[in-house]
Each structure stands twice: as structure tokens, then as C-alpha cells.
Amino acid sequence: MIAVVLLAAGQGTRMNSRKPKILHEVGGRPMVLHAFLAAAAVANRRPVLIVGPGETGVPALISDRAEYVVQPEALGTGHATQMAADALRGRAEQVIVTYADMPLLRAETLRRLAAAQRENGAAVALLTVPGDATSAFGRVVRDERGGVVEIVEVAEARRRPDAAELLAIGELNAGVYCFDGDWLWSNVGALPVREARRGREHYLTDLIEMAVGQGRAVVAVAADDPDEGLGAGTRAEMVEVERAFRRRVNSHWLACGVTLVEPDATYIGPDVTIGQDTVIWPNTFLQGTTTIGEGCIIGPNAIVRDTQVGCGCRVEQVLLDGQRVLDGTTVRPPL
């Protein structure tokens, strides 16, 4: 039995927005919805979302497909995870914990992480991504035998005498974990208090060192796609996440036999389907629940939204919204 906890209580103040950051869209969907759909595909019960006091936007979006637990105070990721104890203790052998602002994290990766935890009998399996010394992600520290011994956050690394060595570590913590459920609930309440930028907090990452100290196995699983570790805390970071999302979607359609004349100038939403041998020209936006048939030419300069386009059609320099285009039809502005 696998349960998933999504940490969704962050205020996202750096986004400088009136709405929570996880409700900002990437690829045509709120970030939290991407994260929720991946979680729901893996979990054997409704995912648990940890939300802040008075949060209404997330429950309105996801409704009763999730269970909601309020974190009354922002006391860190460890404290947020602890809030799910009453809902999940004794109800799941494995507990995946991740963030609601990671829209590129895939269900396949969560399954692989759970398999690694189960097969190794580990207290925790954590997802890692590659990075460099400029990254804000925590560093995965290993011993001389290659075993994971701790995760060191950047702020803490800078205070240590071996700061340069720590920051040079190229294996980074993505912030995605699969825990042995019983072990998690027996230990998360004992996390130490850390002095953080926002005050005193309990870091979920300290569970790694706790597990090692108890002689329990900790395993690291490298992400197949480093983009899965991307999150968005600022609008500048959202630009990078959106670009990564577009790269992934465009790569999918290229592999499916669709020609993208200029992928960097093409936008394809997550709920769009495209037939084989269709050609998409630049400055084309395919949005909503749009379906494009086989052998079409779409664009340049076309916006197609919530529209069904048949096979063998040509659509260029127009806006189609909620339309139906029959097979073999050409749609373009009048000369």
C-alpha cells in the first residue's frame, strides 16, 4: 500500500502574487494539478495535501479527490509531513513525500522510487538530480563506501569549514522521498529544530542522518530526466519550468511522428492529441482539449483551442476556439 503526501502549504511570497504559487499554471495547468495527477496515479488511496490555514484555492481545484490536512504554522517540511501522521499512520506500508510545486515529476519516477525503497528494505529512498556549485538544492553526502550519510542544505554547507567541498558535490537532493511508513511516523516527531531564514523549522532532510544513525538503509535513485527536479518559487524560475515542460511535450510528439518545424516557437498543451504525419509550423498554440487529425498542416501563426480538427486539414493564421473542422478543410484568413 502506497500513500502520497504533497506538501502544498508554502506561501510563495517570492512570486509576488495574490494567489498561491502552486495555482500558477505551467503547460496550461496549475502546478499543483500536475503534481496531484502524478501522485494519484501511484497512490493506493487519496493523496494527502498539506495546506496552509484558510487555503481554499487548492481544495476548489482538486475537490474530494484528495484528503486535506492543515499545517497551522509554517514550521518546516518535517513539521508539514508530521501533520499527515493521523491520516496515514498504520494505513500504508510506504509513504511518498514530495512538493506540490514540482510539475515535471512523473508517476513513473515515483513508482521507481517506491520500488527501490521496498526492494532494499530501506528506511527511505530519495530522488537525486545532477547539478553544480551554484545550485540551491541540498547536497547528497556519501561515505567512503558510497553510502548516503546525510543531506546538507546550502545555508548549512556555507557555515561549515569544508564549505567549498560540500558545495562542489554534484549529486543534489530533489526533495522527493519514499519512506517506510512505520519508520517515518516513529521518527518524524523527533526531528531537531533548525534556525532557518523564516525562523525555527524542522527539516525533513534530517531524517536521512537519523536513519543512518539507527543503522537503517538509505538509498538514492537518480532521476532519468533532471528536469523532474525543477520547481518554481519565483516567476523567473517559472519561465525555466515552462520551457522544460514544452521541451518534454514537444519531444513526445516528435517521437509520435509529428513534425515541428520550430519546436521552440510551438506550444502544445497537455490535453492536446495530434495525428501522425501532421506538420506544425512556428508560432502555433494548441490549447485545451484540442484534437488534430493525421496529415494536417497547422500554422504558422495559428491558435487552436478546444477544437476538433479532422484529417488532411490546413489551418493557418487563424484563431479557432471551440470549433469542429471537417476532414480535408482549409481554414485561413480571406485574401
Q: Could you tell me the residue ranges of all domains in the chain?
A: 2-229, 257-331
**Residue in 118, 171, 113, 181 with CA at minimum distance from that of residue 142:** 171
Pairwise CA distance, residues 213 & 225, whole Å: 31
Q: What is the structure's pLDDT at 232?
A: 82
Q: Burial letters for 275-309: b for 16+ Cβ neighbours within 10 Å, e otherwise?
A: beebebbeebbbbeebbbbbbbbbbbebbbbbbbb
Structure-block grid coordinates of residue 240: 525555466
Pairwise CA distance, residues 230 & 105, whole Å: 8
**Predicted structure pTM score:** 0.90
Q: What is the structure's pLDDT at 71?
A: 92
Q: What is the structure's pLDDT at 297?
A: 98
Query: Is 28:250 a contact under the CB 8 Å cutoff?
Result: no
**Residue in 269, 259, 247, 251 with CA at minimum distance from that of residue 299:** 259
Cα diameter, the chain? 76
**H or E stretch at 264:** none
Sheet holding 259-260, edge to edge: 259-260, 279-280, 297-298, 314-315, 330-331
Query: What secondary structure does DSSP assign to 145-179, as a single string?
Result: TS-EEEEE-HHHHHHSTTHHHHHT--EEEEEEEEE
Residue ranges for the chain with pLDDT beneath 50: none
Query: Is 42:111 a contact under the CB 8 Å cutoff?
Result: yes
CATH 3.90.550.10 describes domain 2-229: yes
**Residue in 92, 91, 93, 69 with CA at minimum distance from that of residue 82:** 69
pLDDT digits (tens, 9 = 90+) for 249-282: 999 999 999 999 999 999 999 999 999 999 999 9
Pairwise CA distance, residues 335 & 161, whole Å: 72
**Residue in 19, 98, 96, 16 with CA at minimum distance from that of residue 61:** 19
Residues 6+ apart with CB under 8 A from 306: 287, 288, 289, 290, 321, 322
Q: What is the structure's pLDDT at 199?
A: 60
**Residue in 94, 83, 90 with CA at minimum distance from that of residue 179:** 94
Q: What is the CATH architecture of 257-331?
A: 3 Solenoid (2.160)
**H or E stretch at 84:** none
R_g of the chain computed on alpha carbons? 22
The three-state DSSP-derived secondary structure of 186-206 is HHHHHCCCEEECCEEECCCCH
Q: What is the structure's pLDDT at 42?
A: 97
